[in-house]
């Protein structure tokens, strides 16, 4: 074999080796394996199985691969058989679960009436995958802390009505000693009608992202402070309109409004501006 043929053979062999290595690396990447310089790999993270949440039910949609969540047992005020859930004390909702079919589902909604009458439920952690909280989702639940992540867009009608109250043995609500604390994320755009109706809540901050607030949304019991970052709420002409009230006339909260917002007649006609004690906010007290 002459010298030129030997060189050609060596070059071809080297090219084949390079091609084989490149193909192998690309194939491993397509298998979602992360290759490091020393050829160690880490498998992609897996979601927990739905069986790890025996107190919850995940209603799965195979077409969209999404799921809603609710308590396996929640209460009811049916006249013949009124009940409350007295066992569920804390819920940390997962962002994804692996269903019994082996498919990964993203949890995007808390079901209508999903945790209603959960009498022992104190804390709930809501992941960023949750986009909506359904109507009456936490109504009549004895909540003291709800931690909402960025991603939540909508809170349904009566979602937290009478939250922070205990249902007694006669099936009547009794105000809890510990009020509800909830953070509303900057992704939130809609607060439904009566969302916090008679909820045991002392302070509430309405973020700038909110564009719709339903009738009676803030008619909470014991609401001492409202912090308004929301231009829509700040500029309303009437907080106490009988057909579409935001607040009850008997409520006397201190209202803080972000300095750069236009303040409407709804605040100026019913509240006095006073010296502020919160940097970046104007302060109003009920006339």
pLDDT at 12: 55
Residue 228 located in a structural domain: no
Per the listing, tokens 């043995």 go with 169
Residue pair 117/137 in contact (Cβ under 8 Å)? The answer is: no
Contact (CB, 8 A) for 286 and 271: yes
User: Nearest 5°: phi and psi at 217?
Assistant: -60, -35
First vs last Cα of the chain: how many Å apart?
Answer: 105
What own/partner pairs with CB < 8 Å and gap ≥ 24 does 41-46 have?
46/98, 46/104
Q: Which of 94, 115, 109, 111 is nearest to 51 (CA)?
A: 94
Residue 66 shares a structural domain with residue 93: yes
| DSSP 8-state class, residue 202 | S
Residues in contact with 14: Cβ distance below 8 Å, sequence separation at least 6, in sequence order: none
Please give the pLDDT value at position 43.
39
Cα–Cα distance, 32 to 44 (Å, whole number): 7
- Residue that terminates a domain, selected from 223, 251, 278: 223
Per-residue model confidence as pLDDT tens for the chain (287 residues): 555 555 555 545 555 555 554 555 545 444 444 444 444 434 345 799 999 999 999 999 999 999 999 999 887 766 566 678 889 999 999 999 999 999 999 999 999 999 999 999 999 999 999 999 999 999 999 999 999 999 999 999 999 999 999 888 777 888 998 999 999 999 999 999 999 999 999 999 999 999 999 888 988 888 899 999 999 999 888 776 666 667 776 777 899 999 999 999 888 888 899 999 999 999 999 88
Task: Establish if 127 belongs to a structural domain.
Answer: yes
Residues 186 and 113 in one domain: yes
Residue ranges making up the domain that contains 29: 3-42
Confidence (pLDDT) at 42: 41
Question: Does 102 fall in a domain?
Answer: yes
Helix, strand, coil percentages for the chain (3-state, nearest 5): 15, 30, 55
Residues 100 and 37 in one domain: no
User: Is residue 117 domain-shared with residue 8, that is, in the same domain?
Assistant: no
Tell me how many domains the chain contains: 2
pLDDT at position 2: 59
pTM of the model: 0.81
In 10 A of CB 12, how many CB atoms?
A: 10
38/62 same-domain check: no
CA dihedral of 122, 251, 194, 60, whole degrees rounded to 10: -20
pLDDT at res. 78 = 66
Q: For residues 113 and 209, state if they share a domain.
A: yes
Decide the pairing of beta strands 145-148 and 212-213: unpaired
Residue 161, in any domain of the structure: yes
The reported pLDDT for the residue numbered 195 is 95
d(CA 245, CA 239): 6
């Amino acid at each position: 074999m002459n010298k030129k043929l030997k060189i050609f053979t060596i070059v071809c062999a080297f090219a084949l080796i390079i091609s084989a290595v490149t193909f192998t690396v690309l194939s491993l990447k397509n298998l979602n394996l992360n290759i490091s310089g020393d050829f160690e790999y880490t498998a992609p993270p897996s979601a927990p199985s739905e069986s790890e949440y025996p107190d919850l039910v995940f209603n799965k949609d195979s077409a969209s691969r999404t799921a809603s969540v609710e308590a396996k047992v929640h209460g009811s005020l049916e006249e013949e058989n009124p009940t409350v859930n007295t066992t569920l004390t804390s819920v940390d909702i997962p962002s994804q679960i692996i269903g019994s079919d082996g498919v990964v589902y993203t949890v995007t909604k808390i079901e209508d009436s999903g945790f209603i009458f959960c009498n022992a439920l104190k804390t709930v952690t809501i992941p960023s995958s949750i986009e909506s909280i359904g109507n009456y989702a936490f109504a009549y639940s004895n909540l003291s802390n709800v931690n909402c992540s960025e991603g939540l867009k909508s809170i349904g009608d009566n979602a937290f009505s009478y939250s922070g109250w205990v249902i007694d043995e006669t099936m009547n609500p009794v105000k809890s000693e510990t009020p509800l604390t909830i953070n509303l994320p900057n992704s939130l755009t809609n607060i439904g009608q009566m969302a916090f109706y008679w909820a045991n809540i002392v302070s509430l901050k309405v973020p700038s992202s909110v564009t719709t607030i339903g009738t009676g949304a803030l008619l909470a019991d014991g609401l001492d402070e409202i912090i308004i970052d929301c231009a829509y709420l700040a500029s309303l002409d009437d907080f106490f309109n009988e057909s579409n009230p935001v607040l009850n006339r008997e409520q006397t909260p201190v209202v803080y409004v972000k300095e750069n917002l236009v303040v409407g007649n709804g605040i100026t006609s019913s509240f006095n501006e006073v010296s502020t004690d919160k940097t970046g906010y104007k302060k109003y007290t009920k006339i």
